[in-house]
Amino acid sequence: MVVGFNLGYDLTRIALDWKEGNKGEWSFIMEKYADGNENINSPRILITPIDSKKAIIKLARPCKKKLKGKVPAREWKDAGEKIHFLDLRTSLWSLYNKSHSLRR
């Protein structure tokens, strides 16, 4: 489980690059090779904003290349273990209906 306060913001700061996802979410690239290309064996983190206080954060499955004839096709790897994200700022908002900061 990944736990943080204002987790969406923190994840954007440690991401190496980002792209727009297929469904309008933000897709963050967390690992690259030394030559600057994305490591497609490492999963991306997807953040789908709901409103200013809430977002859905999940791990995308990495893809692997599979040769079909001469053209490599991409196929998604099995997800394996699930990783959960817990944003404490959102949890406090849902409990008290008030915004909190780290100072509070």
Secondary structure (DSSP) of 3-38: EESSHHHHHHHH-SEEEE-TTS-EEEE--B-TTS-B
What SS3 class is residue 91?
helix
pTM: 0.71
Regions of the chain with pLDDT less than 70? 62-81
Return phi, psi of residue 24, to 5°.
85, 0
Based on the number of CB atoms within 10 Å of its own CB, is 57 exposed (0-12), middle (13-18) or buried (19 or more)? buried
Structure tokens at 27: 């897709």
Structure tokens at 103: 């100072």
